[in-house]
Amino acid sequence: MVKPLTLLLTSAGRRCQLIDSFRASAQRLGVDFRVVAVDLEPELSPACHFADARHAVPRCTDAGYIERLVEVCRLEKVDLVVPTIDPELPALAHRAGEFAAVGARAVISSPTVVGLSNDKKGTAETLAAAGVAVPRTVWWAEYCANPAQLQWPVIVKPNAGSSSIGVVVPRSPQEVCAMKNETNLIVQEMGAGVEYTVSVFFDREGRLRSAVPRLRLEVRLGEVSKGRTERVPVLQAAAKCLQRALPGARGPMCFQGMVTPAGEYMVFEFNARFGGGCVLAERAGAHATQWLLEEQLGRPSTAHNQWKEGVTMLRYDSGVFLND
């Protein structure tokens, strides 16, 4: 009997649509496929109930997290490990070899790239050095020493934050300088324009194969709830610059940017993983899930940038009912 291709989805949470995307890709490729999902409380994770198998794991910040993931990989004969949240990425990047030792490939960028994704000020400096347009960014204390150095309005955020947690749009410079926990805060020029998330895919050699700008029509808890694919040449050009800036980038990623009324762009930050709205890019024909499976199977890559423009996503909550 041929062993099915098995994927481990970490921090599965509510990522049911991502599981569906992987299954649809496996069906297109004509391969037997299994999904193993892990979470802190798998019995309370909808995605874990969508999976073929589920396991409990410690918090991703706990010392034994990677050991437990490797144990699950060995037990379930996992081929691919796909992470979903920022806090788990550094450990996965630094210890990818432990997964390889049990026959599993962790879909993860280099430790340097992952480190930058959790360092917004470092991201701004690195991207600017590579010719990517970024908003001016300074530490909180630096701003308060001279608020006039940044053009108003500004936005304040944790340097290593995610999911818009801790982000503040202040009403005045005085409000900025009255904030606490200033050691981890950055202040960034906010600019004016239309916000996008761009889903990008880098192959195993680090080549950019696809860039799908998604207009952020509505955001809920830091994740796009309504969006639309649009071809925006300046953002696709920004993606090419991102490739030069991040030579260790691999697999699916996304970056947040803005297009100004003058047609110029700025990149704010990037995530070294599938973005929350990645299923919109999948629906438009940018099947990053399929391209990952093709790489694992050793098949010729069908990765492309000929996705469909104007595909709109309107997300809604659904339910998984247990013991019904």
Judgement on whether residues 176 and 235 belong to the same structural domain of the protein: no
129 in any annotated domain: no
CATH number at residue 162: 3.30.1490
Judgement on whether residues 59 and 78 belong to the same structural domain of the protein: yes
Mean pLDDT of the 14-35 span: 97
Residue 74 pLDDT = 98
Q: What is the mean pLDDT of the chain?
A: 94
Rounded to the nearest 5°, which phi and psi values hold at 128?
-60, -40
Distance CA(123)–CA(128), nearest Å, equals: 8
Judgement on whether residues 149 and 237 belong to the same structural domain of the protein: no
C-alpha angle with apex 66: 64 to 70, nearest 5 degrees?
115
Rounded to the nearest 5°, which phi and psi values hold at 69?
-60, -45
Q: Which of 189, 224, 254 is the last residue of a domain?
A: 189
Residues 117-159 have pLDDT tens digits of: 999 999 999 999 998 999 999 999 999 999 999 999 999 999 8
Residues 271-292 have pLDDT tens digits of: 999 998 999 999 999 999 999 9
CATH number at residue 281: 3.30.470.20
122 in any annotated domain: no
Distance CA(310)–CA(324), nearest Å, equals: 39
pLDDT category of residue 323 using cuts at 50, 70 and 90:
confident
pTM for the model stands at: 0.93
Residues 202-255 have pLDDT tens digits of: 999 999 999 999 999 998 877 889 999 999 999 999 999 999 999 999 999 999
Judgement on whether residues 53 and 163 belong to the same structural domain of the protein: no
Judgement on whether residues 164 and 213 belong to the same structural domain of the protein: no
Rounded to a whole number, what is the largest CA-CA distance in the chain? 69
275 in any annotated domain: yes
Domain count, the chain: 3
Distance CA(36)–CA(4), nearest Å, equals: 12
The boundaries of the domain holding residue 101 are 5-108
242 in any annotated domain: yes
Q: Which of 138, 136, 141, 139 is nearest to 151 (CA)?
A: 136
What are the C-alpha distances in Å from 50 to residues 37, 43, 175, 179, 238? 9, 11, 45, 43, 36
Residue 221 pLDDT = 74
